[in-house]
Structures are given as structure tokens and as C-alpha cells.
Structure 1
């Protein structure tokens, strides 16, 4: 369907790009031709839109198409990750919540797995929560019994969080009882992420905690990515869902304590 306002106007352009992003996030991968037909514009217009969206980190271009799916060197946009493996992330979050006790200080990263955990922590108050994730801040903003500390830095639209040197320095200035993080890939011995800026922030977080927990749904296991984050043995706890193969769970347990969450439904 074509836009109801002229294709060249700024309002139409931004509306169309938002629709394109929503289609890619929904379908994972689409072709340029399909987008042009769906949007009711030329292929060249779609190419310009995709170039702008790629610069924002919303999606990844390839010859003839566009994708929101992750690769070993490209992490998906947050909006895409929020819509996939939801039941598994919720199960992992429920299990991870058992690690938290009232009165603790926690550091939470900007992962969607940890974002699934955030609402469950309201029942654990009082808590002190430190995070670089804007949506985690939103989750606790109205909770009087949770002391909330924002870890600032350079804003990343891809992750809807704060990264960079200022964030790392803020993390290095504190020490917490428990750090809860996720990452994009893991095998039986090592964890990984595609982006070095994210790796540096997560490493700083892990170093700041007396204990650490890794939250991983089954889609992230038996995979690698460009940058090594931390050995599995570096985590005190690993929480996975029950769709992770039993053989891999056994291998993980050779390095650390592993909790297996039951997925409902």
C-alpha cells in the first residue's frame, strides 16, 4: 500500500522507514523488491531508506535484501530481539529471580533476557539496581523501594542503552553483590558478542560483582561471535531454558553451576 502523503516529504519518508523496519523485524529477512511493492515506491527509494536504517543500526543490508537476524559479526536491533524466544526468556528470568534476595545490590545489563527479569525484581525490594539500559530504568522508575543508579555513556540506538568509556568508568567506580547479564552466543567453554563496545561494558560489569549470573535462552547456545567475552567458568551461575540439549548442559556443568528453567506451554 502506498503512503497517503507524497513519497518525497519528510513525514512520509520517516513513516515509510518505520514501516520498513517493522516489516523486517517481523519477517527477519525480506527482499528489496518485496519492500518496494509493499511500500508502493521505487526500488531506488527503498535502497535509500535501507541505507538510512542501516546507518542507525536497525537492520543489516545484503545483496538484494535486508535482515534483522543476527550473525557472528552483527547483533540484531533490540526491537527484533524483544519479539523472539519470549517464552524462553521469561522462563530463564523466573529462574534467575531466585538468585536475588531483598537488600542486595544488583547490576543489570541491556540484554532482553535481563529486561524480562526486571519486572520480577519488584517483589524482591528493597534493592539497589545499577544499569546502563534505558528500558530497565523505566521498569523501576516508579518503585520507591528500589534505589536506582543509571550508568551513563554514549547512547546506542541499536541497544537502547549507554555504552563507551564513560559507562565503563562509571561501572569501575562501584562494587555490587550480583551482576546479571546475557550475551549473544555461547559454547560449552566460552561466551561471545559481536560488538567490542558491548564486550568492554559487560566485562567491566562482571569485574564489579561479588557474584555473576549469565542468562541464556537456547537460541544463543552452541554458537560463536566475533569477540570473546568471558569463559563460562568465569560465571558463578548460568541459567538456560529446558530446550538446551542435555549434553551441552552437562558440559556446562563441568565449568560452573547451571540452572535449567522450565518453559511453560
Structure 2
């Protein structure tokens, strides 16, 4: 066989993952520093200025950051952290690990309520074969996951549609949730410390609180990036949750502190690499 000497490049899937990982790092740098130049980003990322321009254009379209001549600045935290496209692309491995552990809480025959978080969206795909189940949700993409599943009774919790979250919020959604009583509620939120959970948007807090009140048991799904942080609005104390599922990137002392208030289940990410 003739060896042409050419080396095959990365697969399209690998190239796409590399691109997305770089864009996540760029977003994190911009958020950390507030304002940075294109040249600085190119040097930091080890790529060309043109590549950085393409990445910044993509991130600006997602609503993660703001472009200006020669540089880029971060949007307010409440904007980029709420953006679904941004949330779908960050800490994917951690969310998937947390979802696998949380799925063990769900048994056939249960009624479960799922919020519009990307952590719970990762969980939804693992529940398709756990039927029979009754699933209630305000998240459009979670509805898509279960549409057509014969053993899933699916109930949409409607309200005012939010393009940012691709879900239903507002007073009509709260009222729909308050009319229900379920076996298990699974949610995530923006931030938590050893004692309290938080979210940056009041409309979202009101829906999540109603959901938690509707559950005989409740579970919180959090990747390590959301832990040891706060946000504008208090959601509820950690002790109000029956279960908290976090990944193994959370500081061991904080895990110990959380266990003083509730059942904590650890999802292995780093140990399995």
C-alpha cells in the first residue's frame, strides 16, 4: 500500500467539540475580565485573530457577550447565565454525570415534575425507558424528549413563553403548577452555598418555588460551577431539599457541610477519567 504521507485531520465531530470548548473558554475569560481585546484572546487561545472573530460573532449571536471595535465585553451576568444556548454548552460532562445519579431516584409508576434547567434536560433523556411515568414540565425541550413515548403520560405546564429559557413562566405557569401534586420534583438553579440556593431571575424563582411545594420529595441537581456562589434572589434553604446531587468537582468540605442539611449524592466525573 502506498503511503502518501498525508495525515488525516480530526473528525468533524471532534473539530466541533474543540471549537465549542474554545468558545466556552473565551466566554469564561470575558466574564472574568469584563472587557478584553481580540488580539489578547487570540494569543491566549493560541489561534488566529480571524478564528477569534468567528468565535466572538457566534457568542454574540447567542447573547453571551457584546462586541465592540477591537474587543468584546461581558453582558450582565443575568443575561448570559440565563441564555439557554450558552447553558447547553457548558459543563456538559458534569451535567450528564449528575443526571445519571439523579435518574436512580425515579422509579416506574411515579409522577415527576421537571423544571427548565439544562441539568434536568440531561436527565430527561434517561427517563424515556423508565415508564410508566407521569411527567410534568414547563420546558419545551423536555416536552420534545418525551413526545411519542407510549409509557409516558406527559403534562405541559403552560404560561408565558420565554425565548431566553425556551420554557413557560409567569403567573399562569405558577397557577398550573399549584394545581398539581407529584411524587418527585427535580430542579436545578443558578447558585448555592452550604445553606441557601439562589437564582438571578424572580420569575424563575416563583415557578421553582411552586414546583418544590408540589412535590412529596424534591431533588436539586447542581454541577460544581454553580456551587459556593450566590445570585440575586434567594430560592430556598438547602435543607428544604430531600436530595442534592452534585459532581465530584465540589470541594470536599462543602460536601460535608451540605450533608449536615440533606442527603447528598456525589456523581463521579474526574474519578472516571
TM over 0.5, shorter chain: yes
1:124-171 Cα deviation digits (max 9, x unpaired): 111000000010000000211100000111111111111000000000
Match of 1:27 in 2: 26
**C-alpha distance in structure 1 between counterparts of 2:38 and 2:263, whole Å:** 49
- 1:65 is aligned, of 67, 72, 75, to 72
Match of 1:179 in 2: 185
Q: Which runs of 5+ in 1 are unaligned?
A: 1-22
Cα RMSD, aligned residues only: 3.0
- Structure 1 contact 71–225 (Cα < 8 Å) conserved: no
Larger RCO: 1 or 2 (CA < 8 Å, sep 6+): 1
Match of 2:202 in 1: 196
Match of 2:128 in 1: 122
- Structure 2 contact 113–136 (Cα < 8 Å) conserved: yes
Match of 1:8 in 2: none
**C-alpha distance in structure 2 between counterparts of 1:131 and 1:238, whole Å:** 20
Match of 2:112 in 1: 106
Match of 2:11 in 1: none
1:58 Cα offset (Å):
2.8
Equivalenced residue count is 232
Q: Which runs of 5+ in 2 are unaligned?
A: 1-21, 40-48
Cα 1:27–1:250 change in 2 (3 A) is: same
1:72 Cα offset (Å):
6.6
Match of 1:233 in 2: 239
- Secondary structure at 2:231 match in 1: coil
1:71 Cα offset (Å):
3.0
Match of 2:88 in 1: 82
1:65 Cα offset (Å):
2.7
**C-alpha distance in structure 1 between counterparts of 2:213 and 2:67, whole Å:** 37
**C-alpha distance in structure 1 between counterparts of 2:153 and 2:266, whole Å:** 30
Cα 1:254–1:166 change in 2 (3 A) is: same
Cα 1:262–1:25 change in 2 (3 A) is: closer
- Secondary structure at 1:101 match in 2: coil
Cα 1:191–1:62 change in 2 (3 A) is: farther
Select between 137-146 and 59-68 the one with higher mean Cα deviation.
59-68
The TM-score normalised by the length of structure 2 is 0.76
- Structure 2 contact 192–198 (Cα < 8 Å) conserved: yes
- Secondary structure at 2:129 match in 1: helix
Cα 1:74–1:199 change in 2 (3 A) is: farther
- Structure 1 contact 74–194 (Cα < 8 Å) conserved: no
